[in-house]
Amino acid sequence: MTSQNIDKQFKWYTTFLFSYALNKVTKYLLPASTNPLDYMASGNTILPVLGKPIYSTYSYAWGGLDHNTGNPLGYLGKTRSDDYNTIVNNTIPDSLIYNGPSQPPFFGAIMNTFSWKKFSLSINISYKFGYFFRRSSINYGSLFSSWTGSSDYALRWQKPGDESHTTVPSMVYPTVSNRDLFYSYSDILVERADNIRLEDIRLDYRLDNSQWHSFPFKQITFYVLASNLGVIWIANKQGIDPYYNNTPKNSKMVAFGLNINF
C-alpha cells in the first residue's frame, strides 16, 4: 500500500508492506521422536510436530536456582529437581515448553520517500514480529576447556540469596555436562525476537536530457546508499539483536554508485 502524503513540488510518499505467513504440521507419517534433545535444535531444523510450525523453539521447563547451591533446577513431573541426566535424556516431549515459532509470522517494511527537484531521499524500516530465539549464556564446560566465556559469568550465583536477582547458575568444578546442557536449553534463555530495524537510507541525484538536450544519456542517477544501520527497537529486555545472537555483527555499509539509462 502506498500513500501520497504530499504531492507538490516537494513530494512525500509512504509505502507499507505487510506479510503474514504461518505454517503448521497437519499430518506426519513417521513416528515422532522421543528424544527431548532432538527438539532443542528444532529452531533451525525441521522436526515435525502435529499442530506446531515446522520451525519451532522448545525448551526444558525452568525451575529457578537452588537456594543453597545455585544449581539450576528443572522438573521431573511437577517436582523441581537437579537430576540432570534424567531431565536431559528422559523428559517426554509433551512436558517440554513450546515457546513459539522461530521464524516470524508477521513481517514487512515501511519506506518513506521524499523528493525535491532532482533530489530523492528514501528511508527503509523493516519489522518482524511473533517469533522467538534462544540466547547464549555461560557454559562452564566450554569455559574450562577452551576459555569460551560469556559476560553472564559476572552475574553467576555465588551465595544464598543471589537466586532472587540472577538466573545464572553457580560455577562448579569439575563441570557436569548435563548441568550445562540443561541450562543452555532451559526456557529461561528463550527471548522474544521481535524487532524493528533501520535497513537502509538512500540519497539520489538525477540528471536527464529534458533540460540538457546535448546530454548523451536519457537519464543518469548518482546515489549514496547506507545499509545495515541497526535496530530501532527490540522486544527482549537483554538488548540482544536476534540477527546476531551467536555471530559477530555485520558492519554498517556505505556504497556510492550511478545508474545510467540510455
CB under 8 Å to 18, separation ≥6 — which residues?
1, 106, 108
In the block, cell 506479510 appears at 19
Percentages of the chain per state (helix, strand, coil), in multiples of 5: 15, 40, 45
Q: Which of 245, 241, 224 is nearest to 232 (CA)?
A: 241
Query: Which residues in the chain come in under a pLDDT of 70?
Result: 42-43, 211-215, 246-248
The predicted structure's pLDDT at residue 215:
67
The predicted structure's pLDDT at residue 211:
66
Contact in structure between 64 and 35 (CB atoms under 8 Å): no
**Which residues on adjacent β-strands are paired with residue 76?**
79
Pairing of strands 195-208, 74-76: unpaired
Quote the Cα angle for 109-114-120, to 5°: 105
The predicted structure's pLDDT at residue 248:
67
Over residues 75-115, the pLDDT tens digits come to 999 999 999 999 999 999 999 999 999 999 999 999 999 99
The predicted structure's pLDDT at residue 187:
95
CB under 8 Å to 78, separation ≥6 — which residues?
none
The predicted structure's pLDDT at residue 10:
95
The predicted structure's pLDDT at residue 103:
93
The predicted structure's pLDDT at residue 72:
98
Domain ranges in the chain are 2-261
**Stated pTM of the model:** 0.85
The predicted structure's pLDDT at residue 42:
64
